[in-house]
Amino acid sequence: MPGPLAGIRVVDVSTVVAGPFATQVLAEMGADVLKVEGPAGDILRAPGPARSPGMGAAFLNCNRGKRGLVLDLKQPADRARLDELVRDADILVHNMRMKAAGRLGLDDARMRTLNPGLITCAIVGFGQDGPYRDRPAYDDIIQAACGWADLERRASGEPRYAPTIAADKTTSLYVTTAIAAALFHRACTGEGQAIEVPMFESMVSFLAVEHLAGLTFRPPLGPSGYARLLSRHRRPYRTRDGYIAVLPYNANHWRDVFRVAGRDAWAQDEALGSDVARAAMIDTLYERLAACLAQDTTEGWLARLAPLDVPCSRVNRIEDLLDDPHLVATGFFEAVDHPTEGPLIGTRPPVRFSRTPCGATRHAPPLEPGTP
């Protein structure tokens, strides 16, 4: 059975991650996504590991489910070919700076003269009504600009970037949400429209949920930052033979952990019964938790805490996930045979639809000119 976006046609002129990850999600949900690349190809093709040039792992993981087409949009004939594709499309996605998109004729005003029902989605670094609109933007730059890197400083002592492409991928999810909403609007009204998804504003919105904190109020009721998340004691804890993640979240959790660790005095602390009091002493509680967990092995603690329903987990490596019992049981990782790259491992879509199951039906395309 086709996915929920079956019949929706997407022309994807985006590169690297912020656009391609979004359109990969659309492809897994059934959309027919045509990835349009210049003659040199998406720069994400280059980073390895790879079995063959231009087919690196990150590119394969960001572009499965799509058809491919090479067009040099600086050439009139190829621009005309793109116009033909747009006339029959539902969505156009790009992540160029707007001046560059305009020079190539990809601005919304021109695109919707070709197709009035078209939804155009421009992923930009910064909102186009602000003074940063023309600045270049990449994931590290946005992590620094939005406050993420400084939150790492407050938590660990120095500013750091997340060890994942956090800004690009988070923005991609805003993109998929916005496109779904625009498709609903068009289904109701017949109107296409332009969507602008700025990375900077998306990430500020993402972090402000908890970290705007006291600055939410006027006048402020305190500083920015969610104290529990910024505690220097919030981390995977050492056990006798490794590390474990444990998150006692309510009063019963804390009491149970302390009791099973033989710390009855801590378990009887009256402050545990108050959500406000626990929040105020979170550093002390995490220090006590660390002292408890050092007493036993990781497996020992998992065996003790599971019957108490205290949230806990091993600290997995990426390598461990391929054999994780839950992921194996759900069939989350799937083996595929790519026509040029051979046997690969990929992930199934994490979301499930009861009526319209989704999944990639195509492989990431090679960089080949010609008909997709």
Enumerate the active-site residues. 168
- Identify the burial level of 75 via C-beta atoms within 10 angstroms of its C-beta, where 0-12 means exposed, 13-18 middle and 19 or more buried: exposed
Can you tell me which residue has the tokens 């590390």? Answer: 243
Tell me the pairing of strands 342-347 and 333-338: antiparallel
CB 153 within 8 A of CB 232: no
Query: Collapsing DSSP states into helix, strand and coil, what is residue 265?
Result: helix
Spell out the residues 6+ positions from residue 107 whose beta carbon is closer than 8 angstroms to its own.
Answer: 98, 101
What does each C-alpha distance from 51 to 46, 48, 88, 93, 342 come to in angstroms?
11, 9, 35, 29, 9
Distance, CA of 192 to chain centre: 26
Rg (the chain; Cα; Å):
24
Give one DSSP letter per residue of 169-205, joined into a string.
Answer: HHHHHHHHHHHHHHHHHHHHH---EEEEEEHHHHHHH
Closest CA to 91 of 41, 33, 36: 33
> Please, how many CA atoms are within 13 Å of residue 84, restricted to the half-sphere of its CB?
8
Q: CA 289 to CA 253: how far, in whole Å? A: 11
* Alpha helices by DSSP H, 240-343: 251-260, 264-267, 275-280, 282-293, 298-305, 318-321, 325-330
Beta strands in the chain (DSSP E): 9-12, 32-37, 66-70, 91-94, 119-124, 193-198, 237-238, 243-246, 312-314, 333-338, 342-347
